[in-house]
Every structure is written in C-alpha cells, then in structure tokens.
C-alpha cells in the first residue's frame, strides 16, 4: 500500500503546530497503525529529519497511551464501519485502502496540552483518580469468595465500568472536551461494590470537582464519548454519576 499521511507536528506546548504531509510506501495491510508510523519514522531518520513523536506502550489495546485522532475520529473509531471500536495500536492497515490520505492529530482538549507532535499530557486523569478513585477498606488477606455477596447485576456493571483504560478518547470525541464518561466509569466501578460504599458520596464530589478544576468541559449528553470509547463504556454511567452527585449533596 502507498499512503499519504498528514500529521500534526508541534515542537512543544508553547510552539505553533501545523499539519505536515508525508508519503509512505510499502505498507502491508497486516501492519498495525503504529507499525505504519514506525515505518514513516525510519524513513524520516534515513532522510535526516526529526521523527514523529507518538505515545505507545503495550501495543495490545490495554493501556490506551497510543490514542490519536485519525481522520477526525479518536483511535480511528466510528462505531459503525469496518474499523470497529479499538485502540490505535490495534487498528490495522487493512482498514484503509491503497492511495488513501490519512489525517493524524493529537487529542484536542484544554486539559490535555500537547507535549510534542501527537503526544499529549493526560495526567489530569491521574489527578482525578487521586482525588477519589480509591477505597480505604482494609481488606487484609484475600477474603473467602462468598464473604461479601454482590448482586450479579451490580457485579457485572462494575466489571463493565472497570474496563475503562483512561485513554481519553471520550474527551477527544466530545465537542465540549468533557471527561464525564471517564469519571462516570470510575464512580460506577467502585459505587456498585460493597467495598466502595464508605467513600461513595465523598468520592463523587471530589472527582467531579477535580474534573471541573482541570478545565474539562461540561457534559451535554451528545453521546460521542461512548461511541468513540475503545472499551464500549456505556453512556448510562454518566446518568449514575449525576444521580450519585445529587445524592451526595444532601449526605
């Protein structure tokens, strides 16, 4: 495959950025999207040019560090077409056609400042987790499996919410750059379990306050966040978040 890629290049947080066009040849349809970027960077190195900076770690769809906006969609996901819902590192070049032009940009959000090229600072999510995404119950050694019965419906919902990898695709997809799907997933994950009850009301207030303080936008229930999520976190976690926040105000 031969492709034209338009990539956002930016030297640093305060530097101006722009889209730069490159031609990439000999791309196998079996390559992942990041392997295609590796080929591009090898070509740039051979030509004495600065390689494109991008984040990655596991390359197994687990950590979410690889997230970039591909043709206007976080991770390249549309939720409808052949790309499916996946992380960038698990998106394969067979999803594209020979001769395609691909535009690649970083997450666009005030709370995710660009560090360089496609790399953004997502430590705002870490600070939200630190503000309340934990439990203080002293569990000691591993308890017997049936010591704390959990209703199956609640356990399933908690596991579903726990699938969130904090990649930030929800923020990148939202017109308001809101992170409420992420916060909702963390609140539901712990709020559905007995161990999460002691801090339940403190948690939701602290995490929402930190979210707003980081400069994320407000949720207006557009739903792009859930459509772009590589782990299919459902939109109703935001409803639970709002419900818990209202109850927290009177506790």
Q: Is the dihedral of CA 156, 162, 167, 170 positive or negative?
A: positive
What confidence category does residue 138 fall into, taking pLDDT thresholds of 50, 70 and 90? confident
User: Is 122-137+149-250 a domain of CATH 1.10.1060.10?
Assistant: yes
DSSP for residue 32:
B
- What is residue 78's predicted lDDT score, i.e. its pLDDT? 59
Listed in order, strand segments (DSSP E) in the chain are: 3-10, 17-24, 69-70, 73-74, 101-105, 114-116, 119-120
Reply yes or no on whether the pLDDT at 135 is more than 90: no
Q: Indicate where the chain has its CATH 1.10.1060.10 domain(s).
A: 122-137+149-250
Tokens of residue 37, six digits: 């970027």
Strand, coil or helix: 22:
strand
Average pLDDT over residues 244-249: 95
Rounded to whole angstroms, how far apart are CA atoms 40 and 60? 21
Alpha carbon separation from 221 to 7, 62, 81, 200 (Å, rounded): 30, 27, 23, 23
Q: What is the DSSP string of 182-216?
A: HHHHHHHHHHTSGGGSTTHHHHHHHHHHHHHHTT-
pLDDT tens digits for range 180-220: 999 999 999 999 999 899 999 999 999 999 999 999 999 99
Give residue for tokens 């002691």: 198
Rounded to whole angstroms, how far apart are CA atoms 18 and 14? 13
Q: What are phi and psi of 108, to 5 degrees?
A: -110, 100
Rounded to whole angstroms, how far apart are CA atoms 19 and 17? 7
Pairing of strands 3-10, 69-70: unpaired
Reply yes or no on whether the pLDDT at 137 is more than 80: no
**Would you tell me which CATH number, out of the four given (3.40.1080.10, 3.10.20.30, 3.30.2010.10, 3.30.70.580), belongs to the domain 3-105?**
3.10.20.30
What confidence category does residue 84 fall into, taking pLDDT thresholds of 50, 70 and 90? low
Rounded to whole angstroms, how far apart are CA atoms 76 and 34? 12
What confidence category does residue 77 fall into, taking pLDDT thresholds of 50, 70 and 90? confident
* pTM, rounded to two decimals: 0.92
- What is residue 139's predicted lDDT score, i.e. its pLDDT? 64
Q: Indicate where the chain has its CATH 3.10.20.30 domain(s).
A: 3-105
């Amino acid at each position: 495959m031969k492709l034209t890629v338009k990539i956002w290049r930016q030297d640093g947080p305060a530097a101006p950025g722009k889209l730069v066009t490159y031609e990439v040849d000999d791309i196998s349809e079996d390559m992942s999207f990041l392997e295609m970027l590796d080929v591009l960077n090898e070509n740039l190195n051979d030509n004495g040019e600065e390689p494109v900076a991008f984040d990655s770690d596991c390359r197994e769809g687990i950590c979410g560090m690889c997230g970039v906006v591909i043709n206007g969609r976080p991770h390249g996901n549309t939720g409808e077409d052949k790309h499916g819902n996946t992380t960038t590192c698990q998106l394969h070049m067979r999803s594209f056609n020979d001769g395609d032009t691909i535009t690649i940009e970083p997450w666009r959000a005030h709370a995710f400042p660009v560090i360089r090229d496609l790399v953004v600072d997502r430590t705002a999510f870490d600070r939200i987790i630190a503000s309340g995404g934990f439990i203080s119950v002293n569990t000691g050694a591993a308890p017997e499996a049936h010591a704390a019965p959990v209703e199956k419906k609640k356990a399933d919902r908690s596991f579903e919410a726990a699938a969130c990898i904090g990649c930030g695709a929800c923020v990148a997809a939202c017109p308001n750059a809101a992170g409420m799907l992420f916060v909702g997933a963390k609140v539901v994950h712990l709020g559905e379990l007995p161990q999460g009850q002691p801090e339940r009301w403190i948690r939701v207030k602290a995490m929402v306050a930190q979210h707003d303080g980081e400069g994320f936008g407000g949720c207006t229930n557009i739903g792009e966040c859930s459509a772009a999520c590589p782990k299919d976190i459902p939109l109703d976690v935001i409803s639970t978040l709002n419900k818990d926040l209202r109850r927290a105000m009177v506790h």
